Copies of this chain bind each other. A is one copy, B any other.
Amino acid sequence: MKKISESAVRRLSLYLRFLQEADAAGTDTISSGELARRGGATSAQVRKDLSLFGSFGKRGTGYSVKELLREIRTILGLNRSWKVALVGAGKLGSALFSYRDFEARGFRICAVFDADPEKVGASWGGLTVRADEEMDRVLREEEIDIAIVAVPADAAQGVVDRVVRAGVRSILNFAPVRLRVPNQVILRNVDVTLELEGLSFGLNAR
C-alpha cells in the first residue's frame, strides 16, 4: 500500500467532521468543492486525498454523504472502539477525561493512573484513579491501545518507556518534550508551547 502523508490523514479527519455536519443537516450528497470550501482546501486536494483509498464518488453528482462517511470511518479505523489509558490525573488529565466527546468517537478511557498518592483512589465518573505501580500490569491486562500522557515533562520519558514495554502501540503526548519511542510505536504530540511560539513568530514578523 502507498504511503499516506500525515497531512492527508488530518484532512480525512476534517472531511469526516464536515460530512457529519452535512449528514446532521440532512444533506444527501456533497461535492468535492463543497467539502473543500469548508476545510480551506481545494477541490482537487479533496479528490486526490480520497483517490488514495478508492473512488467513492459519482461523476456529475458528487459523493453520497452516508457512503463517504462510512468509507472514511473505515479508512481511519473508527468503526471499532479503541481502549485508551490516561496517564496523569492532574488538571489537564481531568480536562481530557471530562471531554466525553472522545467516547462518542470510539475512544474509550478505560483506566486512569497517577503517581501522586493524594490522587489515587479518587473516583472519576465510574473509574477509580489507580496507582502508578499498577500501571504496567493493567495496561497489559486491559490490552490498552492508546496511552494519553499528561504528566510533567520530566516524568514523560519514563512513563512512555513503561507504556511501550507494556505493549501499548500508540501514544498521544501532552508533555513539552521530544520523546523517544521504538519505530513501531506511533507517537503524536500536542505541544501548546510550540503553538504559542508559532503565533509569536507570526506576530513578530509584521
Contact = CB atoms under 8 A, between A and B. Distances in A.
A172 interface: yes
A91 B98 contact: yes
A78 interface: yes
A101 B193 contact: yes
Count copies of this chain in the complex: 2
A196 B26 CA distance: 27
Given A102-B193, A193-B13, A203-B82, A178 B76 contact: no
A12 B201 CA distance: 10
Contacts of A201: 4, 9, 12, 75-77
Contacts of A9: 197-198, 201
A136 B7 CA distance: 35
Given A101-B176, A178-B14, A195 B190 contact: yes
Interface residues of A, number: 59
Interface in A157-196: 169-172, 176-178, 186, 188, 190, 192-196
Chain A interface mostly = helix
A197 B76 contact: yes
Contacts of A206: 169
B196 A102 contact: yes
A25 B40 CA distance: 44
20 contacts: A9-B197, A10-B198, A13-B194, A14-B178, A14-B194, A39-B178, A76-B197, A76-B200, A77-B204, A91-B95, A92-B95, A92-B99, A96-B192, A101-B176, A101-B193, A146-B199, A171-B199, A186-B203, A188-B198, A188-B199
Given A10-B198, A14-B178, 9 more contacts: A12-B201, A17-B176, A77-B201, A78-B197, A82-B196, A82-B200, A96-B192, A170-B202, A186-B199
